[in-house]
Amino acid sequence: MAQARIGLIGLGVMGANLSLNIAEKGFPIAVYNRTGSVTDDYVASAGDLAQQLFPAKTLEDLVASLSTPRAIIIMVQAGAAVDSVIDSLTPLLDKGDMIIDAGNANFHDTRRREAELSKLGLNFIGMGVSGGEEGARHGPSIMVGGDKKSFEVIRDILEAISAKHHGTPCADHFGPDGAGHFVKTVHNGIEYADMQMIAEVYGVLRDGAGRSAADIGKLFETWDKGQLQSYLVEISGKVLQTIDEKSGQPIVDIIVDKAGQKGTGRWTAIEALSLGQSPSTIEAAVAARSWSSVKDTRIAGEALFAELEPEKGAAKISDDDLEKALLAAKIIAYDQGLNLLSAASDEYDWNLDLASCAEVWREGCIIRSTMLDEMASAVREGLPQGNLIFSPRFAQRLVEGSSALRRVVASAALQGLPVPAFAAALAYFDTMRQGRGTTDLVQGQRDFFGAHGFVRIDTGETDQHGPWASDIAHS
Ligand code: NAP
């Protein structure tokens, strides 16, 4: 019986496209979907690629059609569905076989699954795939975590199907257990920040300057040819210039302003906080989506505070300032994302190569942009204090860009226009260039009420206390 090189379970949007991509690159693939009719329709529409497909009606058939050791990709909803598929699959597998979860898993689940399956002698790969439907079909960015030897077994397939940056595959192995899924999670967190900051520019131009959707879309189209070239700026330009066929209105004007989220942005913020990090641009983007969901509250607030006039003195924001501000805020968001990756790498002993992270994001994924190539080079050259914003490649750009960001945030604040991610980026930047901050007072407060102790500047002595304990005792 002819044998398939790899298997895939879950022929939804991502699974169907990824498996056709694999088949197209010449790898015979066995496919299975819980709802059998989906498999039939999928094979019927696969055209010539059907020759490379081994459709299976049962998991037993799927397993039987694979060469050994077996490698099976699971591409179903993250969470309980993955555990359910793994539970059904494991009794059918032999030691040395490999399961690859290619969905958007929480990396804690990946770590747990890897540990559980290794006890059964099975290999587990947690693999982040980015690029949506189009990427899955024609070249996604692939972030792999798990046993390196297992990665080597499927490396040829992953490199063949991935996006390429001047011929270099945007697929890499980042470390053991949850490393790949964590890199994908932070990718999505940065994606949230990128999208929010673009939306803030749109808001400033729409509500502050009264510009039309098409006009703003054209501006994004222009920016996409410059330093801001990126998939997200490109599609924002396209969305804003699209007319709704039904109403004849710009399509963005008939879309309800309540943003969905499936969890990866929130996971990024949660994991960051538990690692003692605070990627404020990502947190702001997650918050903005959450706030967007309470539309009734916002409508009530608009009516309640209707008499509030914009403050006087708001400067007109130029397109040039907005472009520079977006550039600066974007660099800051990536700085925060890379810092988070670095902290997780230390915590979980992943030894993550941050430059490789930036490199696999250069093509195929949603945050792909020209700037990522330069970011990867900056990381390879060594980041002063581990910070992208201090890199000679970006520091000078921030000198100019941060002034524009400051003008945009100040003007937006005076006009009453919310720019949470821009403001968060600016506060982070200003904090990181302030040698003496204000937490000396916070430490004083903590010592006052809780005797938490502080470090003296003059002598370096630790666990010092102020004289207030006796003040309290005598008061
Ligand atoms: P989808 O189109 O909704 O398809 C879901 C698939 O999962 C279907 O084949 C479904 O089978 C199967 N499934 C669900 N529950 C199952 C269960 N308990 N047992 C067996 N099969 C089950 O989802 P998708 O968009 O392809 O997403 C798949 C994964 O990729 C998710 O983790 C998602 O977060 C991730 N991802 C998605 C994108 C994107 O742009 N869509 C991008 C990157 C990553 P039935 O046909 O039987 O229902």
The angle at the Cα of 345, spanning 342 to 349, to the nearest 5 degrees, equals 150
pLDDT band at 419 (very low <50, low <70, confident <90, very high): very high
CA R_g for the chain? 25
Over residues 242-254, the pLDDT tens digits come to 999 999 999 999 9
CA neighbor of 99 nearest in space, from 152, 33, 150: 150
**339 assigned to a ligand binding site:** no
- Residue 471 pLDDT more than 70? no
Instruction: Give the separation between CA 142 and CA 136, rounded to whole angstroms.
Output: 10
Q: Is 256 left (phi over 0), alpha (psi -120 to 50) or beta?
A: beta
6-177: CATH superfamily? NAD(P)-binding Rossmann-like Domain (3.40.50.720)
pLDDT of residue 262: 83
3-class secondary structure, 78: coil
Ligand 1 atom, smallest distance to 34 CA: 47
Instruction: Find the mean pLDDT for residues 83-96.
Output: 98
CA neighbor of 358 nearest in space, from 325, 380, 381, 343: 380
The domain defined by 185-432 folds into N-(1-d-carboxylethyl)-l-norvaline Dehydrogenase; domain 2 (1.10.1040)
Ligand 1, CB within 6 Å, residue ranges: 10-15, 33-35, 38, 75-78, 81, 84-85, 103-104, 129-130, 132-133
Instruction: Give the separation between CA 272 and CA 263, rounded to whole angstroms.
Output: 14
11, 59, 76: which to mutate for ligand 1, most atoms within 8 A of CB? 76
CA neighbor of 379 nearest in space, from 353, 415, 397: 353
Instruction: Find the mean pLDDT for residues 78-98.
Output: 97
Catalytic, 191? Answer: yes
- Residue 474 pLDDT more than 50? no
Instruction: Find the mean pLDDT for residues 335-364.
Output: 98
Q: How far is the CA of 15 from the centre of ligand 1 (A)?
A: 7
Q: How far is the CA of 228 from the centre of ligand 1 (A)?
A: 32
Ligand 1 atom, smallest distance to 78 CA: 32
Instruction: Give the separation between CA 291 and CA 297, rounded to whole angstroms.
Output: 9
Catalytic, 184? Answer: yes
- Residue 440 pLDDT more than 80? yes
Instruction: Find the mean pLDDT for residues 401-430.
Output: 97
13, 41, 187, 192: which to mutate for ligand 1, most atoms within 8 A of CB? 13
User: Taking the model in full, what pTM does it have?
Assistant: 0.95
Q: How far is the CA of 197 from the centre of ligand 1 (A)?
A: 29
77, 83, 231, 262: which to mutate for ligand 1, most atoms within 8 A of CB? 77
Residue of the CA atom closest to atom 35 of ligand 1? 103
Over residues 135-150, the pLDDT tens digits come to 999 999 999 999 999 9
Ligand 1 atom, smallest distance to 35 CA: 47
Instruction: Find the mean pLDDT for residues 389-411.
Output: 96
Q: Which residue type is seen at 214?
A: A
The domain defined by 439-474 folds into 1.20.5
Distance of CA 148 to the CA centre of its chain: 23
Residue of the CA atom closest to atom 8 of ligand 1? 12
Structure-token match 């002819």, residue found: 2
Instruction: Give the separation between CA 165 and CA 172, rounded to whole angstroms.
Output: 13
Instruction: Find the mean pLDDT for residues 410-427.
Output: 97
- Residue 215 pLDDT more than 50? yes
pLDDT of residue 473: 46
pLDDT of residue 263: 87
Q: How far is the CA of 438 from the centre of ligand 1 (A)?
A: 48
Note if the bond before 310 is cis, omega within 30 degrees.
no
Q: How far is the CA of 146 from the centre of ligand 1 (A)?
A: 21
- Residue 310 pLDDT more than 90? no
Instruction: Give the separation between CA 337 and CA 342, rounded to whole angstroms.
Output: 9
DSSP 316: P
**17 assigned to a ligand binding site:** no
Over residues 30-62, the pLDDT tens digits come to 999 999 999 999 999 999 999 999 999 999 999
Quote the percentage of the chain above a pLDDT of 90.
Answer: 96
Domain ranges within the chain, ordered by starting residue = 6-177, 185-432, 439-474
Instruction: Find the mean pLDDT for residues 267-295.
Output: 97
